[in-house]
Amino acid sequence: MSLDSLLRGMLIRLLAGETGVALENRVPDLDGRFSHIEELGLYLHIPFCRQICPYCPYNKELYSPSAASQYVEAVTREMDSYSRLVGDKPFTSFYIGGGTPTTMLDSGLGPMLEHIFKVFNMRCDIHMESHPNDLSEENLRTIQSLGVKHLSMGVEALQERHLRRLERPYSVDEVKAAVERAVGAGFECVNVDVIFALPGQTLAEVEEAGRELLKLGVDQVAAYPLFTFPYTRMGREAGAERDGNSGVLRRRKMLRVLEEIFYGAGYERTSVWAFTRRGVPRYCSVTVPLYLGLGASAGSYLEDVFFLNTFKVSEYISSLEKGRLPIALSMELSERMQMAGWLYWRIYETRFSKSAFRNRFGREFDSVFGRYLTPLSWFGLLDDDGEEVVLTNAGTYWLHVLEDLFSIDYVGKLWGGSQQEPWPEMVVL
């Protein structure tokens, strides 16, 4: 057993009180599962891209107009199946992710959104991902006419050599122009994703990218270190030397450079990865703890059950054509696991209040997790004033390391496995 898996096993046992976590090929009984829920988030997955980037772990396939039009019908069917179960529960957060949602700007995104707003009680703005090459002036107007108020795009890097290495289909000047157009278009928040700790990247290059983004006036920067997922092309090429040139200390230094730039310019840390201009509503994926996911590979979490749709677009479509929900895997969660999941996501946001835990679970936070938090505050990883818990910069960094330990392995097993087998019998995490 590697040190990684030993540590992972220990953490799962410690936090969730379980020895292993398994998802099974079973459609859960959803009757009555929405009745206690006060508010929900909605996630819509668009699994199409105009290119397949070698580093990307997300579920996607090459865009084709015919697949897109069948997809619109399937998502519409899926919404209709849920509308009876969900009733008029309010959705207070809505996120459209991918793949690349902007591939469907002219092939059904509008009608899908209209249907969502017709069948569900939507009480929120729309947050949506986009690709820089799709952000012409005309497309930006279309995006706004759909009601999108918060826009994100994958810039990835601001040096030609890194853009070439990542096989991104634009030059530095082109992507900067796309960012400028988006920033000037009047969204409430424009987020750009960048990746650091790229092969051979220097600290000076990270600093240059950070300063350029600041000059371009973006509201938020989500900066991820390059994760090499074993099932991506880059992951396969990197093989065993996954951390070769992006080791822990190197990443920490790069993150420090970004922290200095963005804190210095008045941005706040709003999640493990994101810096947001103070006063701007942060761009993010679903912001409430419970959510329903629509589309191929979308996940849903309703208090005591988590379930995941099949990843394969053709299977997703044919399942709904046959009148069946496209759920491939599900897992019932014990109360202890729900609490551990709650803590994981709140820590990911870098802060939480203990009263929110009490409201959700009817138990005192300290009686459940207090003994794990106290040593962390001794080590300066978090500040705990008795009610609010806030991660320090050092705490956030170590959370990155933990994330790396968990996410790469879990995502590899769950997403990598589901991309190979549309209806897996079981996935053990």
Ligand X SMILES: C[S@@+](CC[C@H](N)C(=O)[O-])C[C@H]1O[C@@H](n2cnc3c(N)ncnc32)[C@H](O)[C@@H]1O
Q: Rule CB under 6 A: is residue 154 a binding residue for ligand SF4?
A: yes
Q: SS3 for 364?
A: coil
52 contact, one of ligand X, ligand SF4, none, CB 5-8 Å limit per kind: ligand SF4
Structural element, H or E, at residue 267: strand 267-269
Q: Rule CB under 6 A: is residue 100 a binding residue for ligand SF4?
A: yes
Residue 41 vs 154, nearer CB to ligand X? 154
Return the residue of 8, 60, 282, 312 that touches ligand SF4, per CB under 6 A: 60
CA 167 – CA 424 distance, rounded (Å): 31
Query: Minimum CB separation from ligand SF4 for residue 55, in Å?
Result: 7
Query: Minimum CB separation from ligand SF4 for residue 53, in Å?
Result: 3
Residue 160 vs 167, nearer CB to ligand SF4? 167
Query: Minimum CB separation from ligand X for residue 285, in Å?
Result: 10
126 contact, one of ligand SF4, ligand X, none, CB 5-8 Å limit per kind: none
Query: CA-CA-CA-CA torsion for 261, 264, 270, 276, nearest 10 degrees?
Result: -80
By DSSP bridging, strand 22-24 and strand 426-428 are antiparallel
Distance linking the first and last C-alpha atoms of the chain: 15
Query: Minimum CB separation from ligand X for residue 377, in Å?
Result: 30
Dmax of the chain from CA atoms? 58
Q: Which residue is nearest to ligand X (CB)?
A: 154
- The answer for residues whose C-beta is within 8 angstroms of residue 429's C-beta and 6 or more apart is 20, 21, 22, 23, 409, 410, 413, 414
Sequence letter at residue 17: G
- Tell me how far the alpha carbon of residue 111 is from its chain's centroid: 24
DSSP state of 103: G
Query: Minimum CB separation from ligand SF4 for residue 366, in Å?
Result: 41
Structure tokens at 399: 């959370």
214 contact, one of ligand X, ligand SF4, none, CB 5-8 Å limit per kind: none
Residue 131 vs 165, nearer CB to ligand SF4? 131
153 contact, one of ligand SF4, ligand X, none, CB 5-8 Å limit per kind: ligand X
CA 401 – CA 180 distance, rounded (Å): 33
Q: Which residues lie near ligand X (CB under 6 A)?
A: 49, 55-58, 98, 100, 129, 131, 153-154, 156, 193, 195, 224, 226-227, 229
DSSP assignment of 189-226 equals EEEEEEEES-TT--HHHHHHHHHHHHHHT-SEEEEEEP
Q: Rule CB under 6 A: is residue 416 a binding residue for ligand SF4?
A: no
Binding site for ligand SF4 (CB under 6 A): 49, 51-53, 56, 58, 60, 98-100, 131, 154
